[in-house]
Amino acid sequence: MELQHFNIKIFVEGDFNVDRTAIIAVFHDWVREQSLGELLIDVADYRHVPNGPGILVIGHQADYSMDHTDGRWGLRYNRKAPQDGTNDDRLRQSIVAACHACRLLETHFKADGPLRFERNAFQIVVNDRALAPNTTETLEACQIEWKRFLTDALGHSDFHFEKPEETRKLVGVRVTAANPFDVPAKP
């Protein structure tokens, strides 16, 4: 199965106490400066939607957002454009892009919060119901690949997957690692 359209959500550590308007300003800076190595187009504010997408940077290849889905704040990277390479290549690119955005936000808000993202928990979702329907078979196949990938990427296999209870959601898992993972400074 050739997976595309990965979503990676890295959760905020503790409470999200940063002024949301300041996040909007940072996202506008990212668009103006084209800070993330992908074509960024606009910023959208969905803070009025309960447990929704929050504040988004709309891009051509991907969207970035301070997401509040499921009542939990985090940085979500939503890959939209297809990519070449293997499933591992595409997953790695998505994780690195999400980590890079987290690092930029942490650096920007260091004196104002600080804003920190968790280093031992994140979510992997495939945003493509046609390619990866949320079935037991799809999830099992994905978990085999993701376990192999993460064991190599993290340097250990001391992590576990938690799947959402809701079958109407996209196929994916929450990953919790015993040891913190590194958040790279640049992709």
Considering the entire predicted model, what is its pTM?
A: 0.92
CATH number of 6-127: 3.30.310
Q: In this predicted structure, what is the pLDDT of residue 147?
A: 92
Q: What are phi and psi of 137, to 5 degrees?
A: -65, -45
Q: Is the pLDDT of residue 185 over 60?
A: no
What residue has token string 């290549």? 89
Vertex 169: Cα angle to 87 and 64 (nearest 5)? 60
The residue type at 76: R
Lowest mean pLDDT among 55-64, 77-86, 151-160: 151-160
Q: In this predicted structure, what is the pLDDT of residue 166?
A: 76
User: Which of 29 and 111 is assigned the larger pLDDT?
Assistant: 29
Q: What mean pLDDT is predicted for residues 26-33? A: 97
Q: In this predicted structure, what is the pLDDT of residue 111?
A: 67
Domain locations along the chain:
6-127
Nearest-angstrom CA–CA distance, 76 and 170: 14
Q: What mean pLDDT is predicted for residues 159-172? A: 85
Lowest mean pLDDT among 10-14, 28-32, 35-39, 112-116: 112-116
